[in-house]
Chain A
Amino acid sequence: MRVSFDLDDVLFVSPDSYETEPAPGFPFNRMFPDRLRKGTPELIHALQERGYEVWIYTSSYRTETYLRALFRAYGIRFDSIVNAQRHQIEVQRDRRERLPQKLPNFYRISLHVDDEKAVQENARRYGYRTMRVYEPDEHWVEKVLREADRIYRLQQEEHA
């Protein structure tokens, strides 16, 4: 079971409109300017404790090195990171058909969490499962966990 997260407006949010995790201490709060949605470490750890893999799947060009260093400051380790560059090389490649900006099923991701409506809309057509998290929601941690557990059970039934 593999769960992936979009970054912008899902895990990375503006402290002006969202509750965020406390920033790391100086000077790391300057080195890593992105702020995490409150509950992010708790959610990632809870998913990993269940034995699920947790990935980043972003259309941003932030490098894997930067992302690993940033999340380390919050005690988070992702199992894998797909950024725009990796998607381009591994998914889009030289295909003439323009694929959507994310194709979670290419990586056998069982649930992708994203704020973009387009990602939801493409889900049925391209055959992946997604959940929309797009605004401040104090219950987002429980909601994502519940959905991940639901899909885990579904997959078990499918394989039974």
Chain B
Amino acid sequence: MEEKLQKIEALFVKYGAVPTSLDEANRTRFGDRVIFERSGCYIRAGVAAFDGQPFLTLSSIDQLKFAELGMLEDVDALPVDCPDERLEQAVRYALGVEPYPEVYP
């Protein structure tokens, strides 16, 4: 899982996002991961369980004041064994590199 999360974060960087020091308190307290930023879009990788089943999540927000508190919204969830191409596509959408298709997911 850690490896997948690091892959996602490497993709953030590949598309021009930079790691921030936002939300340091909650990173320690709740184990939140680093928030990245690209053109006013704050984004974070994570893991969340839905009905007891773990998923890789992409969370984002476009307002600094929420990002400062670590209050990002889940915008995508991917299976933990998600192929790399799909991870990359999801990151491109979430960062706004590419517009979402008409219906997503």
A: residues with CB less than 8 A from B are 24-28, 30-31, 63-66, 69, 72-75
The CA-CA distance from A45 to B105 in the complex, in Å, is: 18
Kindly list chain A residues whose C-beta atoms are within 8 Å of the C-beta of B103.
72-75
Q: Does B30 contact A (CB under 8 A)?
A: no
Q: Interface with A: B7-15, B18-26, B31-39, B72-80, which one?
A: B72-80
Given A30-B51, A31-B50 in contact, is the A65-B62 Cβ separation under 8 Å?
Answer: yes
Query: Which A residues are CB-close (under 8 A) to B55?
Result: 27
List, in ascending order, chain B residues with CB within 8 A of A27's CB.
Answer: 50-51, 53, 55, 77
Cβ-defined contact, A31 with B74, below 8 A? yes
B77 to chain A: which residues have CB within 8 Å?
27-28, 31
CA A69 – CA B93 in complex, angstroms?
Answer: 11
Offer 30 A-B interface pairs, CB within 8 angstroms, sorted by A: A25-B105, A26-B50, A26-B51, A27-B50, A27-B51, A28-B105, A30-B50, A30-B51, A31-B50, A31-B74, A63-B61, A63-B63, A63-B66, A63-B73, A65-B60, A65-B61, A65-B62, A65-B72, A65-B73, A65-B75, A66-B73, A69-B73, A69-B75, A69-B76, A72-B104, A73-B103, A73-B104, A74-B103, A75-B102, A75-B103
With A63-B73, A65-B62, A74-B103 known, 4 other A-B pairs at CB within 8 A are A65-B73, A69-B75, A72-B104, A75-B103
Which chain B residue has the least Cβ–Cβ distance from A72?
B104
Q: Which residues of B have CB within 8 Å of A66?
A: 73
Residue of A nearest to B105 (CB): A28
Give, as a whole number of angstroms, the nearest-CB distance from B13 to chain A: 21
Contact B62 A64 (CB under 8 A): yes
Which 8 A-B pairs have CB atoms at the shortest separation, nearest pair first? A27-B50, A75-B103, A69-B75, A66-B73, A30-B50, A65-B73, A27-B77, A72-B104
Residues of chain B lying within 8 A (CB to CB) of residue A63: 61, 63, 66, 73
Output the least CB separation between B22 and chain A (Å). 15
Q: Please name all residues of chain A whose beta carbon is closer than 8 Å to the beta carbon of B62 when the two chains form the complex.
A: 64-65
Tell me the bound Cα distance from A26 to B77 in angstroms: 10
Give CA–CA (A65, B44) in the complex, Å.
Answer: 13
Chain B residues with CB under 8 Å of A64's CB are: 62
Chain A residues closer than 8 Å to B50, beta-carbon distance = 26-27, 30-31
B68 to chain A, nearest CB (A): 14
Min CB gap B11→A, angstroms: 19
